A = this chain, B = another copy of it.
Amino acid sequence: MAAAEKDHVYKILELVGSSDTSIEDAIKNAISRAAKTIREMKWFEVTQTRGHIENGTVRHYQVTLRVGFTLDA
A interface residues with partner B (beta carbon < 8 Å): 1-3, 6-18, 22-24, 27-35, 39, 41-46, 48-53, 56-61, 64, 66-68, 71-72
Contact = CB atoms under 8 A, between A and B. Distances in A.
A16 to B, nearest CB: 4
Nearest to A33: B9
Copies assembled: 12
A22 B28 CA distance: 11
Given A1-B1, A24-B22, A50-B45, A12 B64 contact: yes
Contacts of A22: 22, 24
Nearest to A30: B9
Contact of A28 (B18, B50, B57): B57
